[in-house]
Amino acid sequence: MINSIYKLLEVKDLSVQFSQGKKNVKAVDGVNFFLQKGVITALAGESGCGKTTLAKTILKFHKPAGGKIYLNSRDITLKSNERYLRKNIQVVFQNPFSSLDFRYSIFSSLYESLSVFKKIKKDQAEEIIVKSLNDVELDKGIMLRYPQQLSGGQVQRVCIARALINKPSLVILDEPTSSLDVTTASKIVRLLAKIQQDSGVTFLFISHNLRLLKKVSDFCFIMYAGKVVEFGPKQLVYDNPLHPYTKLLMEASYYRLKRFKDSKVSLNGCSFSSRCTYQEDKCSKESNFKEVEPGHFVSCCLF
């Protein structure tokens, strides 16, 4: 396991529930999770697995039903640490056009974000904003334009600049390329990798596409049905996937998916067992994490 001095963020036994009629549905179910300082960590899983809910709970968009979240050892579930959270964690959402106010120019949007945490006049802010735009490979001439006058790739670059302008410790990237065409998405991924390498900022990159995450991430967590089922360094998780669900995701990412057993989430034992082609009687019991190879952990009855 990673030494605590290298952990920027740590999530302990986190649970999030939503009401569905008369029932409570666990969107995040007892998750333990951490982010290393200065690396890109991937959080992967299919739609509905709980990865975005986990991210939004870290951001305090959702209230946890249980558990704790620590940023640099400070409990950010406490209201007293909310400003610390807002200053140090920023987010880039998947739809850039819904992230910016169409009534605001690009300069105004970035100035608003900058002025939240520091008193600064517009003429003083211009130099910082120009540098922020240059860092995402945009010309300063774009400052006076509006989101509807830009392409999807340009707007997403503005959103990245806005997230970075106050120099946060962590930026959460929630499917930042899913609404972009393939060529533009590839450029955005290369840009994010360059920014991380140059600045040392920590990124949490959320996606369902392991093929994409393999190119950009250093460490990976796999989620299914509100739980983490596998995690480790990227070369171990991507080159030697252990959990049957991780193998399924990998096949789907490379368009090699030949088998797929569609079924509801199992309520007893392993939540993936009803869909698993390797299902055995012992899968009716929950499995704890096992370190199968150094640094590579999996929660599966087969190990």
Q: What is the pLDDT of residues 59-103, one digit of tens each?
A: 999 999 999 999 999 999 999 999 999 999 999 999 999 999 999
pLDDT score at 245? 93
| 104 within some domain | no
Summarize pLDDT for 149-177 with one digit per residue, the tens. 999 999 999 999 999 999 999 999 999 99
- Angle separating helix axes 152-164 and 122-135, nearest 10 degrees: 120
| 282 within some domain | yes
Q: Are strands 89-92 and 170-174 parallel, antiparallel or unpaired?
A: parallel
Q: Which position has the higher pLDDT, 279 or 28?
A: 28
pLDDT score at 131? 97
The span from the CA of 287 to the CA of 42, in Å, is 23
Give the dihedral of Cα atoms 208, 59, 202, 194; nearest 10 deg. 60
- Number of compact structural domains in the chain: 1
For residue 3, pLDDT over 70 is answered with no
Write phi, then psi, for 251 (nearest 5 degrees): -65, -40
Residue 239 belongs to a domain with what CATH number? Answer: 3.40.50.300
| 45 within some domain | yes
CA 259 from centre of chain: 28
Looking at 54-58, 90-94, 134-138, 266-270, which range is the least confident one?
266-270
| 94 within some domain | yes
For residue 57, pLDDT over 80 is answered with yes
Task: List all residues 6 or more positions away from 95 whose beta carbon is below 8 Å from its beta carbon.
Answer: 179
Side-chain-side CA neighbours of 36 within 13 Å: the count stands at 17
Q: Is the pTM of this model over 0.85?
A: yes
| 262 within some domain | yes
Q: Which domain holds residue 291?
A: 4-99+169-182+199-298
pLDDT score at 268? 76
Q: Is 42 exposed, middle or buried (0-12, 13-18, 19+ CB in 10 A)?
A: buried
The span from the CA of 96 to the CA of 14, in Å, is 29
Distance spanning both ends of the chain, measured CA to CA: 18
| 50 within some domain | yes
| 123 within some domain | no
| 146 within some domain | no
Q: Which two tokens stand for residue 247?
A: 């193998």
pLDDT score at 229? 97
- ∠140-159-51 over CA atoms, to 5°? 160
Q: Are strands 23-36 and 7-20 parallel, antiparallel or unpaired?
A: antiparallel
* 137: confidence class by pLDDT, cuts 50, 70, 90: very high
Exposure string (b/e) for 215-242, b if CB count within 10 Å is 16 or more? ebbbbbbbbbbbbbbbbbbbebbbeebb
Taking alpha carbons only, the member of 85, 92, 25 closest to residue 59 is: 85
